[in-house]
Amino acid sequence: MTDWLPPLLLGPGWGLISQLLPCPLAAGWTVQQDLPLPGPGGGYSAIQIEPATHRVWLLSDLPEGELSSWTLPLEGRQPRRIRSLQLQVPPSVTQQLDSEGLVIEADQAWIATEGRRSHERAPQLLRFSLGSGEIQASFPLPPAWQQGLESNAGPESLARLSRSSEPLALLMAAERPLRQDPADQVRLLRWHWPAGRDPQRDPPETSEQGALAAPAGDDWGLTDLVVLHPAGPQPPLLLTLWRRYQDPLQWSNQLRLYRLPRAQHLEQPLQQWDLQASGLTPENWEGLSMGPTLSPGQPSLMLVSDDNRNPFQTSRLALLRPRRSSQCTPEHAGSERR
């Protein structure tokens, strides 16, 4: 997509968003760090930075159900595990936890667990205590999702949809098309609490949030997403992480930028980036989060990979920064290449 179109679509809201993205968009990303994570552990499927403490939370999809916090890999230092929390789930909730999506909210962790098309291992939204690891609540997906999700095909992504100053709302994504959907799109689901309801006590409601056009070709899956909020009333943008596996042990990875779709609406990408072309190690990159600010006005992204407990793969942590032309400043972003 041409670089003048996103500013035109977003209007004055583009100035804030553009600081988090390459400028021009086609400039792509620089891989600032790409390093293996020390063991024990593995199976990392989601990542979130905790701004107040500058810690990295990593979620594992291994049956042990581990959520761990790490130091940031800044100034050449290797990340160091600080804490490991075992997520405690009774068999009545699921026979085996398969944690895929993560949102840290105050003293709670919201987790999307992937299903296997069975009552014993159904896809769900779970809420845990961040202090003890004990499960506090579980919520089933809507019938259309339960019936349509393929086995081991999601939900794979979970993100905070609302701004930090607003009541909590979550955005969930499948990894691949539901059975009843076209083969070239992936569906989104919104979880929200009506006015007067407390996310720490009351069950959420769900509503469809449209779909995203998938990359061309077979075997692509949506594995994580981040919600970006423009200034003013403009709708959010979604920065999404996609992966593809092809034998023998070949991985492809993309970032794709979309507007948040309306219900029953399909959004095409505003821009897409081949991460291997940027120098990222081909791997099973599963988790995506906004990263630390590397310097004033220089934000970053963080990614984590799932080693699948395969001796030919590694658990890795990557730090990406957007490439920016010297002419790209917040003051000029709103008129970028018009």
* Blockwise average pLDDT, block size 10, the chain, 338 residues: 49 58 92 91 93 88 93 84 94 93 95 92 95 96 95 93 94 97 96 93 96 94 95 87 92 97 96 96 96 84 93 93 79 37
211 within 8 A of 180, measured Cβ to Cβ: no
67 within 8 A of 43, measured Cβ to Cβ: no
Supply the pLDDT for residue 52.
Answer: 75
The separation between the first and the last C-alpha atoms of the chain, rounded to the nearest angstrom, is 13
- Specify the DSSP class assigned to residue 216: S
For residue 334, is it within any domain?
A: no
246 within 8 A of 223, measured Cβ to Cβ: no
CB-CB neighbours of 281 under 10 Å = 17
The residue segments making up the domain with residue 275 are 29-321
Supply the pLDDT for residue 237.
Answer: 95
Supply the pLDDT for residue 296.
Answer: 76
Quick one: how far is CA 281 from the chain centroid? 19
Overall domain count for the chain: 1
For residue 2, is it within any domain?
A: no
Supply the pLDDT for residue 244.
Answer: 96
* Alpha-carbon span 288 to 261, nearest angstrom: 20
Element (H, E) at 38: none
Supply the pLDDT for residue 304.
Answer: 97
For residue 111, is it within any domain?
A: yes
Supply the pLDDT for residue 294.
Answer: 83
CATH code for the domain in which residue 125 is found: 2.115.10
CB-CB neighbours of 178 under 10 Å = 20
For residue 336, is it within any domain?
A: no
Q: What is the pTM of this model?
A: 0.92
Peptide bond into 204 cis (omega under 30): no
Burial 112-148 (b: 16+ CB within 10 A, else e): bbbbbbeeebbbbbbbbebeebebebbeebeebbbeb
For residue 71, is it within any domain?
A: yes
For residue 231, is it within any domain?
A: yes
For residue 21, is it within any domain?
A: no
For residue 113, is it within any domain?
A: yes
